[in-house]
Amino acid sequence: MFASGIPQSFATIAAGLRPVRIVALVLVGCVATLLIGTQRRPALLSRLAMTILYCTLFWLVFSGNAWVSANGFNIRYFFPVVLGLILVLAVPLAAALLRLPDLLRAPGGVWWPTAVTAVLCVGALVGPLTPPSQSTELLATRATADYARANDVAFLSGYFWPMWPIELQTLEGGRTSTYVTAAKSGGDPAAYQAALDRELAESDGPPRAMCVDEEISVCVTYLEYWTRPGWQEVPGDCPVPISNPLTGSPPVQACRLLEFRP
């Protein structure tokens, strides 16, 4: 598995990066180390070396993992490697910037590493930049999350992949909680019960839930497990998340409404 997995995992990670920008930032990091004091430089370099070693071992181990292989070596399984790359590039820059005022004030200050670093940083920014708010999964589920917020939907259930980005977006604007009943749900079951009781105490109608990209029977099973029996499908539809091939095919592509009517 290592022999067959390493080329595939390496290709996946490389495909998730922009080579020209990475090379430019590596050059920036190398130049930035020239601005770091000689007393601190060995300590910094040793820590960066340990980070690189950890990321390399992580990549090797998970390249031979059966679950990662079955999921096409998706880059999400190598998140520490990507994060490690960011740290290795960013830490020398941060260290150099902390020392920059002293260098510039000193007689015959070291100006050329600063100039080269600034030029390369600007060059690395050239090209399209996508903010996190425009990520594929957030855009695919935004309409569904907006509906949940606007219609006082307190409980979510359904296919694993759309559940969590929907939950995160329902918490925008000051909302304090949304309860997901799906694969990998967790937390205190009593909190789910208390949330259901709070919804029942309100006078604006029965508690509401959404069943997203899953069979209604599966959603009811999850909801009843985490709260209490009494959930029923009601007429009406909610926006269906946009299908994303990176997250696999959901059991169904639909969004249905449920109410708690014991």
Q: Are residues 144 and 212 in the same domain?
A: yes
* pLDDT for the residue numbered 235: 94
Q: Are residues 114 and 163 in the same domain?
A: no
How many whole angstroms separate alpha carbon 212 and alpha carbon 183? 13
How many whole angstroms separate alpha carbon 21 and alpha carbon 2? 29
Q: Which among 83, 99, 128 is the end of a domain?
A: 128
43-52: which pairs have CB atoms within 8 A and are 24 or more residues apart? 44/91, 44/92, 44/95, 47/91, 48/87, 48/88, 48/91, 48/92, 51/84, 51/87, 51/88, 52/84, 52/88
What backbone phi and psi angles, to 5 degrees, belong to 250?
-70, 160
Q: Are residues 145 and 123 in the same domain?
A: no
Average pLDDT on 49-64 reads: 94
Q: Are residues 18 and 102 in the same domain?
A: yes
Domain membership of residue 32 as a residue range: 2-128
Q: CA angle at residue 133 from 130 to 137, to 5 degrees?
A: 95
pLDDT digit string (tens) for 61-106?
Answer: 999 999 999 988 989 899 999 999 888 888 888 777 777 677 666 6
How many whole angstroms separate alpha carbon 59 and alpha carbon 7? 11
Q: Are residues 20 and 43 in the same domain?
A: yes
Q: Which among 71, 96, 128 is the end of a domain?
A: 128
Query: Looking at residue 202, what DSSP letter applies?
Result: S
Q: Are residues 250 and 153 in the same domain?
A: yes
Average pLDDT on 164-177 reads: 88
Q: Are residues 44 and 77 in the same domain?
A: yes
pLDDT bucket at 167, cuts 50 / 70 / 90: very high
How many whole angstroms separate alpha carbon 102 and alpha carbon 208? 60
Q: Are residues 173 and 187 in the same domain?
A: yes
More confident call, 108 vs 131: 131
How many whole angstroms separate alpha carbon 205 and alpha carbon 209? 12
Q: Are residues 211 and 248 in the same domain?
A: yes
Beta bridge partners of 212: 158, 255
Q: Are residues 60 and 110 in the same domain?
A: yes
Q: Are residues 120 and 206 in the same domain?
A: no
Which SS3 state, helix, strand or coil, does residue 157 take? strand
Q: Which among 110, 128, 146 is the end of a domain?
A: 128
Q: Are residues 118 and 189 in the same domain?
A: no
Say how many domains are in the chain: 2
